[in-house]
């Protein structure tokens, strides 16, 4: 299985994540994770946020996918000077669950904010195959090495556990 498979749907039999690893209950869980890709599935109406976890001490696995379904809005805002080739380190997140709407706002360094509005979300911790112990150096490694040094939507992954913003999706 790969991240694209999970963007279509998260398997129902995965174990639940403990509260400390659940970003819907513990917003600090995502701090130090890095956003490497935002995947928009227009046909399926979902957005997947691929996260690099090798710098995070709060989460197991080496990558994760945050999937928001029935997306009504997705915004990425950053300063012009922040458009370097880099991962975006999460400095904070806020979740606003409502009866018929789910909002997620993630603040990043260098100066970026991701906002996604949909009906519900799922967060899956993953073990991506073939990754080194440490992530690539985004500032000094060639772009080709960086691209192959982080998980993308085609990387084989093994799910560890899942958290859901609502009991049923």
pLDDT at position 135 is 72
What pairs with residue 88 in β-bridges?
A: 35
Catalogue the E-assigned strands of 1-98. Answer: 34-41, 46-52, 63-69, 73-78, 88-97
Report whether 47 contacts 105 (CB < 8 A). no
pLDDT tens-digit readout, 128-167? 988 877 776 666 666 666 666 778 888 999 999 999 997 4
Residue 86 token pair: 């880099």
pLDDT at position 168 is 40
- The set of residues, in sequence order, having a beta carbon less than 8 Å from that of 136 and lying 6+ positions away, is 145, 146, 149, 150
CA dist., res. 103 & res. 134, Å (int): 31
Look at the block and give the residue holding tokens 């009906």: 119
Q: What is the pTM of this model?
A: 0.89
pLDDT tens-digit readout, 107-136? 999 889 999 999 999 999 999 988 877 776
Q: HEC profile for 92-158?
A: EEEEEECCCCEEEEEEEECCEEEEEEECEEEEEEEEECCCCCCCCCCCCCCHHHHHHHCCCCCCEEE
Over residues 21-47, mean pLDDT:
93
Give the helix/strand (H/E) hosting 8. helix 3-8
Over pLDDT 90: what percentage of the chain?
62
Report whether 119 contacts 69 (CB < 8 A). yes
Residue (of 48, 105, 95) closest to 71 by Cα position: 48
pLDDT at position 23 is 95
């Amino acid at each position: 299985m790969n991240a694209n498979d999970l963007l279509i749907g998260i398997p129902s039999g995965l174990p639940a994540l403990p509260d400390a690893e659940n970003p819907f209950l513990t917003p600090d869980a995502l701090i130090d994770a890095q956003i490497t890709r935002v995947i928009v599935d227009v046909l399926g109406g979902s957005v997947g946020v691929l996260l690099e976890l090798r710098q995070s001490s709060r989460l197991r696995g080496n990558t994760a996918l945050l999937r928001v379904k029935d997306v009504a809005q997705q915004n990425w805002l950053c300063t012009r000077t922040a458009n370097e080739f880099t991962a975006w380190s999460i400095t904070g997140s806020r979740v606003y669950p409502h009866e018929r709407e789910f909002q997620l706002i993630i603040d990043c360094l260098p100066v970026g904010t991701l906002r996604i509005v949909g009906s519900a979300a799922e967060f899956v911790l993953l073990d991506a195959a073939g990754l080194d112990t440490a992530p690539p150096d985004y500032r000094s490694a060639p772009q080709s090495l960086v691209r192959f040094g982080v998980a993308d939507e085609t990387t084989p992954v093994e799910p560890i556990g899942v958290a859901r913003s609502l009991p049923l999706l």
